[in-house]
């Protein structure tokens, strides 16, 4: 049975959920500074919308849904920003984001080019954190149908990314370098950088 939380204001919610929300957001964006910014945005949204919460027993799921939405918004903005900044000098741009950021931007850019049902499947399960069962219930299809769609979406995305770029991985699966195969690559800056850390 879910824990029942009682609270009187946003400050009490901060005390109850701050650490857990911060850990959750860091697990998604892999950057403490970015996570802190998103966390502030999450609590601003909570403060602005707390009066709309009709059932306090559901506060935990409500708060984490706000956090998932904020993380999704961050990735969408990151994708749009990478496309609008394509005229930046490549050496200057390399200072602004890591190989991980680059891979995420490529992924989101490619997702936006996928058929809507597959893009939705990945957004809800990979970015917003829904389980495949929750995803099936949300869009009104069978659990087996949801699993099949998510798997198909992952396969399509992987093929698109591999057609676009050469990826070099370490033995743990971490991206070490990305080299575009053509000028129409998912990331328009035509970058060629390697992680030179020893």
Topology agreement, domain 10-81 and domain 96-185: no
Note the pLDDT of residue 175: 60
Kindly tell me if the per-residue pLDDT of 190 is higher than 70. no
Boundaries of every domain in the chain: 10-81, 96-185
Kindly tell me if the per-residue pLDDT of 159 is higher than 60. yes
Name the band, by pLDDT with cuts 50, 70 and 90, for residue 192. very low
Name the band, by pLDDT with cuts 50, 70 and 90, for residue 82. low
Q: Pick from 36-45, 50-59, 84-93 the range whose average pLDDT is largest.
A: 36-45
- Rounded alpha-carbon distances, angstroms, from residue 112 to 93, 109, 117, 121, 177: 23, 5, 11, 12, 23
Q: Is the pTM of this model over 0.75?
A: no
Note the pLDDT of residue 186: 53
CA distance 97 to 34: 12
Note the pLDDT of residue 170: 65
Note the pLDDT of residue 165: 75
CA distance 184 to 190: 9
Which CATH class name applies to 10-81? Answer: mainly alpha
Quick check: 181 and 139 in contact, CB under 8 A? no
Which one is the CATH code of 96-185: 3.40.50.261, 2.40.50.180, 1.10.10.10, 3.40.50.720? 1.10.10.10
Question: Which residue matches tokens 């370098």?
Answer: 177
The pLDDT mean for the chain works out to 75
User: Model confidence over 111-126: pLDDT tens digits?
Assistant: 888 898 998 898 888 7
Q: Give the mean pLDDT of 25-32.
A: 89
CA distance 169 to 32: 23
Lowest mean pLDDT among 29-33, 64-68, 102-106: 102-106
pLDDT exceeding 90 applies to what percent of the chain? 15
Token output for 194:
């390697």
């Amino acid at each position: 049975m879910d824990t029942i939380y009682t609270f009187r204001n946003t400050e009490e919610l901060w005390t109850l959920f701050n650490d857990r929300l911060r850990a959750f957001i860091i697990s998604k964006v892999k950057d403490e500074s970015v996570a802190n910014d998103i966390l502030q945005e999450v609590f601003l949204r909570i403060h602005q919308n707390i009066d709309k919460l009709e059932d306090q027993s559901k506060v935990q799921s409500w708060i984490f849904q706000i956090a998932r939405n904020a993380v999704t918004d961050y990735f969408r903005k990151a994708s749009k920003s990478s496309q609008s900044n394509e005229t930046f000098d490549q050496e200057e741009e390399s200072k602004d984001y890591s190989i991980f950021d680059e891979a995420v931007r490529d992924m989101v850019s490619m997702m936006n080019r996928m058929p809507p049902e597959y893009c939705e499947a990945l957004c809800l399960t990979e970015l917003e954190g829904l389980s495949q069962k929750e995803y099936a219930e949300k869009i009104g299809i069978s659990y087996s149908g949801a699993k099949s769609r998510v798997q198909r979406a992952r396969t399509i995305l992987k093929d698109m990314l591999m057609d676009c770029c050469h990826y070099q991985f370490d033995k743990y699966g971490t991206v070490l370098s990305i080299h575009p195969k053509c000028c129409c690559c998912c990331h328009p800056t035509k970058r060629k950088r390697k992680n030179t850390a020893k």
